């Protein structure tokens, strides 16, 4: 009994902490570090076998321009994103903050600045929630690999790791999201002492939301490069690259490799339909500047969201996957409202098969203009629509259907009435 009460309490506390996050839907992931200078992604050290002492020289040549973080935060805000997550330390082990745990950090070598502090201040100035990415795997720390084979090395490395996390949770004010990554080479939460680490994190940051990559499930799942719900109805956030190459750190890419505005909106739609979040990555150049392709397209996404945001933000009470069998678009759904994201405008009339539940009203976002309709058991026909797609930003127009009760589209396999 006491156990189930305790469990209910944990769930209540989680719901409270995650309330903003569930409604936020859209965040910016920032991969930025020494590797940005080499312009071949964030795995370059490993993939090219660059020895740590060689790679470490990149610290002395890294000269990020002032206010880089301010520009990301402004862009995120303009794009309709509600939070950011920055790589405070990626697998290369270089810490972007002023840490006592190692001199291999941006304050004591190279830039001579606490880049994490600059980032936190920039987020706050723009009213964005603050997230820290932290890679457990570390290619620089002398015990980073050895810890799997030697208990004394493990002891040192776990102390180092917990020390880093403690600083991040102590020195920058309120932290909204802690985003661990790659818990290698230690195979269990016990070896990382993750339970203890996360308990410390929660003591220091009672409202923080923690992802599932410390070998413990914690608050949310993190599907990568694919937008799909986490198992068991858990909260989830899909993290995705933007430039097609599956590369998170800066690497030049031709314009056609970047996701189009429509593709980004498509990802947002899918995340929304499944009740999840989308964490879209930008890999700034070494100086901190954002590739033009990313910036321009994000601004257009933001413009679209300012008009159509009601289809995206807020609680998704029904996280069903609606069938996407329509030629002309796909759905999101919140309670009694079903939004049809029309990506191939049909002209004056749109027929939708097998809508179950009574439609009470149909209208167009963002104007709220009423749309005439006729509903029979087999089909819903919307009439007198504008001849051309009303959305000039991306050719994605949202038709809002309000149901008497929850609506659904059940296609089945044949024509016959269900
Ligand atoms: C993978 C990659 C890493 C990237 C992360 C983002 O774990 O190893 O480079 O930062 O995905 O989710």
Instruction: Concatenate the DSSP letters of all residues of 15-71 into one string.
Output: HHHHHHHHHH-EEEEE--SGGGGTTS-TTHHHHTT--HHHHTTHHHH--PPTTHHHH
- How far apart are the CA of 280 and the centre of ligand 1, in A? 13
Residue 350's DSSP bridge partners are 382
User: pLDDT tens digits, residue range 222-249?
Assistant: 999 999 887 778 999 999 999 977 899 9
Ligand 1 close to Cβ of residue 182 (< 6 A): yes
- Report the residue among 46, 136, 182, 238 best suited for mutation to probe ligand 1: largest number of ligand atoms under 8 A from its CB: 182
Tabulate helix, strand, coil % of the chain (nearest 5). Answer: 35, 20, 45
Spacing of C-alpha 397 from chain mean position: 24
Tell me if 415 is assigned to some domain: no
Evaluate whether 133 touches 85 at the Cβ level (below 8 Å): yes
Burial class (CB in 10 A: 0-12, 13-18, 19+), 78: middle
Ligand 1 close to Cβ of residue 239 (< 6 A): yes
Tell me if 417 is assigned to some domain: no
pLDDT of residue 96: 98
Tell me if 320 is assigned to some domain: no
**Residues listed for the chain:** 418
Residue 400's DSSP bridge partners are 339, 363
pLDDT of residue 316: 82
- How far apart are the CA of 130 and the centre of ligand 1, in A? 19
Residue 239 Cα: closest atom of ligand 1 = 12
Tokens read off for 398: 């949202």
Tell me if 146 is assigned to some domain: yes
* C-alpha to C-alpha distances, 123 to 5, 114, 218, 295, 377, nearest whole angstrom: 37, 15, 24, 17, 50
305 and 339 share one domain: no
Ligand 1 close to Cβ of residue 391 (< 6 A): no
pLDDT of residue 323: 63
Question: How many of the other CB atoms lie within 10 Å of CB of 319?
Answer: 17
- Which residues does the chain have with pLDDT short of 50? 416-418
pLDDT of residue 413: 63
Q: Which residues, in sequence order, are CB contacts of 311 under 8 Å at separation 6+?
A: 272, 332, 339, 341, 365, 398, 400
- How far apart are the CA of 414 and the centre of ligand 1, in A? 43
First and final CA of the chain: distance in angstroms? 45
304 and 344 share one domain: no
262 and 392 share one domain: no
Tell me if 293 is assigned to some domain: yes
Residue 182 Cα: closest atom of ligand 1 = 7
226-260 burial, b at 16+ Cβ within 10 Å, e below that, comes to: ebebbeeeebbbbbbbbbeeebbbbbebeeeebbe
- Per DSSP bridges, beta strands 83-89 and 129-135 are parallel
- How far apart are the CA of 122 and the centre of ligand 1, in A? 24
Ligand 1 close to Cβ of residue 29 (< 6 A): no
pLDDT of residue 319: 65
124 and 167 share one domain: yes
331 and 306 share one domain: no
Determine the structural domain holding residue 402 and report its residue range.
325-409
Residue 345 belongs to a domain with what CATH number?
Answer: 2.60.40.1180
Give the chain's domain count: 2
Q: Cis link prior to 311 (omega < 30° from 0)?
A: no
pLDDT of residue 416: 44
250 and 344 share one domain: no
11 and 127 share one domain: yes
pLDDT of residue 315: 87
Ligand 1 close to Cβ of residue 279 (< 6 A): no
């Amino acid at each position: 009994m006491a156990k189930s009460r305790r469990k209910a309490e944990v769930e209540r506390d989680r719901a409270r902490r995650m309330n903003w996050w569930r409604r936020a839907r859209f965040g910016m992931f920032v991969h930025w570090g020494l590797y940005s200078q080499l312009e071949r992604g964030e795995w370059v050290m490993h993939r090219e076998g660059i020895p740590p002492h060689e790679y470490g020289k990149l610290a002395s040549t890294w000269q990020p321009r002032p206010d880089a973080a301010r520009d990301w935060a402004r862009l995120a805000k303009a794009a309709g994103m509600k939070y950011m997550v920055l790589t405070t330390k990626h697998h290369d082990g270089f810490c972007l903050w002023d840490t006592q745990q190692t001199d291999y950090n941006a304050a004591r070598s190279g830039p001579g600045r606490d880049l994490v502090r600059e980032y936190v201040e920039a987020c706050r100035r723009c009213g964005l929630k603050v997230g820290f990415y932290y890679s457990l795997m570390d290619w620089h720390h002398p015990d980073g690999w050895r810890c799997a084979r030697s208990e004394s090395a493990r002891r040192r490395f776990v102390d180092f790791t917990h020390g880093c996390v403690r600083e991040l949770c102590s020195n920058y004010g309120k932290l909204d999201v802690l985003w661990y990554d790659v818990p290698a080479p230690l195979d269990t939460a016990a070896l990382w002492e993750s339970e203890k680490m996360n308990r410390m994190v929660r003591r220091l940051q009672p409202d923080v939301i923690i992802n599932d990559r410390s070998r413990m499930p914690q608050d949310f799942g993190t599907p990568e490069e694919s937008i799909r719900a986490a198992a068991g109805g858990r909260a989830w956030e899909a993290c995705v690259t933007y430039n097609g190459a599956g590369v998170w750190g800066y690497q030049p890419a031709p314009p056609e490799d970047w996701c189009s505005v429509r593709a980004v909106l498509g990802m947002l739609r899918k995340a929304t339909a499944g009740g999840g979040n989308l964490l879209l990555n930008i890999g700034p150049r070494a100086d901190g500047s954002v590739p033009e392709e990313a910036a321009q397209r994000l601004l257009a996404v933001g413009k679209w969201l300012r008009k159509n945001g009601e289809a995206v933000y807020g609680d998704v009470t029904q996280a069903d996957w609606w069938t996407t069998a329509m030629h002309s678009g796909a759905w999101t759904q919140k309670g009694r409202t079903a939004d049809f994201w029309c990506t191939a405008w049909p002209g004056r009339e749109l027929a939708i098969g097998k809508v179950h539940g009574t439609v009470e009203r149909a209208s167009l976002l963002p104007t709220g203009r009423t749309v005439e309709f006729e509903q029979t058991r087999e089909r819903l026909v919307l009439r007198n629509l504008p001849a051309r797609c009303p959305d000039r930003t991306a050719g994605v127009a949202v038709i809002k259907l309000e149901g008497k009760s929850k609506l659904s589209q059940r296609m089945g396999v044949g024509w016959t009435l269900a």
